Chains A and B, each alone.
Chain A
Amino acid sequence: MKSDIELLKNGKRLDGRKPDELRQIKIEAGVLHRAEGSCYLEWGGNKVLAAVYGPREAIPRHTQNPLRAVVKAKYNMAAFSVDDRKRPGPDRRSREISKVISEALENVILVEKYPRASIDVNIEVLDAEAGTRCAGLTAAAVALVDAGIPMRDIPVSCAAGKIEGKVVLDLGKEEDNFGEADLPIAISPRSGKILLLQMDGHLTHDEFDEALNLAINGCKTVSEIQKKAILEKYQKTGGK
């Protein structure tokens, strides 16, 4: 899809960002009372709420694993989160995202500690503006820490992409719609292992490497914001 809009102008993007600049990110931990852990995140125009329940006995019983816990992430977009009303309920896209996020989280949670249990993560997208899966996973990670769930690392996610032939970090709405490629990834920042990697569009081998490195650096920046948000909530008060 080609557009009449110029996505890149004098090295600046539509919203005035540099190619390797992230959108504004705001994270707040522990915002819901009923959930064991929760997080509210704003990432540019994205507004995401994540809530963690459990570990609790997995129901129905056949989903239990006698050796470890299962992570059930549920990604859902609110009907009012996009320009046209989104038909409520799970669809192919949200089921796919739920699956990849579950698998990414499963790799950092110490699932062996809770046999037969399930850890339920609900990710609610209230406002969408490209990159909701990255925002969702980043919020879910903070909510898991807030719930006191033992983890090897705090996962973090960020996307890179290509617009008008140039590799850029963290695509905005128009860049996502009219750009040439989108590469969302999630990493475990301590070990640098990749937990999630998807790609939409076309990149050459060299462009892919460039985008991957850019996204990893983006993840590391977001990771610092995550850690700051958690410490801010708990350092002084102990969370009360």
Chain B
Amino acid sequence: MNKETREIVIPSQLLGDLKSKKAGRGTFIEDGKIYAEVLGVLNANSDYINVVPLKGRYDPIEGDFVIGIVIEAMSSSWLVDINAAYPALLHVNEVPWDVDFNETEKYLNMGDTVMAKILQVDQEKKLQITLKDRNLYKVKGGNIVNVEPSKVPRIIGKKASMISLIKKYTRCRIFVGQNGRIWIDGEEEGVKKVIDTIKKIEEESLSYGLTNKIKDLLEKDSKDVH
């Protein structure tokens, strides 16, 4: 493995032995051996062997903040698409407003965007989301950008280093949903820059030292603007 980029593994690739390592996410065990189960990036630095998927649907985890799009308003709940394999249920009890029966459409309608938190994922993978948390609301204005859900950690960076960097240089308001949807609001030029930066991060997500690279890029750009 060279130092420039991370190693890509494909399903059924042998990654190691149970004796020396533990099987982490994105792997499965057969006859005491660890194999990759998805197309992804190998991460075997700790005791665990993990495979971070390159593509695929968002895998909902309780407590994640996501951006959802309402696909249906029912009499006492909404169905919301959160880019997972299943639509999520948003019950009237889980919104900050007092909604009467059959009047859900007055508050949220098809196509509306909400910032939400995953409330519950049960064994059957039935999803419930809630708007009752800090800073969760119906989105008005701004832009939404879609990225691969597996690349979200790279966009946020270690201890949010990357995202705060982007916020600092572009003076935009950004909300990154764990499901790969990113909401950006601000001046037109700033928004453009954020989108370009995010695309850049997505392209180069396999390389090391990305935060510094992006910092250089943003600094250079900001000199041109001001």
Contact = CB atoms under 8 A, between A and B. Distances in A.
Q: How large is the interface on A (under 10, 10 to 19, 20 to 34, 35 or more residues)?
A: 20 to 34
Interface in A207-235: 227, 230-231, 234-235
B125 A115 contact: yes
A116 interface: yes
B105 interface: no
Interface stretch (B48-56, B136-144, B214-222): B48-56
Contact of A148 (B30, B56, B86, B203): B56
Contacts of B123: 115
Interface in B197-213: 202-206
- Chain B contact surface mostly: loop
A190 B31 CA distance: 12
Nearest to A145: B39
Interface in A116-151: 116-117, 145-151
A238 interface: yes
B167 to A, nearest CB: 24
A148 B54 contact: yes
Interface residues of B, number: 29
Contacts of B35: 152, 190
Interface stretch (B4-12, B96-104, B111-119): B4-12
A36 interface: yes
A230 B8 CA distance: 10
A148 to B, nearest CB: 3
B6 to A, nearest CB: 9
B11 A154 contact: yes
Interface string A148-176: 11111110000000000000000000000
Contacts of B206: 238
B107 to A, nearest CB: 24
B190 interface: no
Given A227-B10, A238-B205, A149 B85 contact: no
- Chain A contact surface mostly: loop
Contact of B37 (A147, A150, A231): A150
Given A147-B55, A231-B8, A66 B124 contact: yes
Interface stretch (A20-28, A51-59, A71-79, A84-92): A51-59
Nearest to B151: A238
A231 B10 contact: yes
B37 A110 contact: yes
A154 B26 CA distance: 15
Nearest to A239: B54
A33 B86 CA distance: 21
Contact of B11 (A36, A56, A152): A152
A178 interface: no
A26 to B, nearest CB: 18
Nearest to B122: A115
B10 to A, nearest CB: 5
A54 B83 CA distance: 11
A37 interface: yes
A35 to B, nearest CB: 11
* Residue with the greatest number of chain A CB neighbours at <10 A, chosen from B26, B35, B38, B204: B38
B175 interface: no
B28 interface: yes
5 contacts: A54-B57, A57-B86, A145-B39, A151-B37, A152-B37
Interface of A: 36-37, 54-57, 66, 110, 114-117, 145-154, 189-190, 227, 230-231, 234-240
Going nearest first, the 7 A-B pairs with the smallest beta carbon separation are A148-B56, A148-B55, A55-B85, A150-B37, A153-B12, A151-B11, A238-B206
Interface of B: 5, 8, 10-12, 26, 28, 30, 35, 37-40, 53-57, 85-87, 123-125, 202-206
Given A36-B57, A190-B35, 14 more contacts: A117-B85, A117-B125, A145-B11, A148-B38, A148-B54, A148-B55, A148-B56, A153-B11, A154-B11, A227-B10, A230-B10, A230-B39, A236-B5, A238-B8
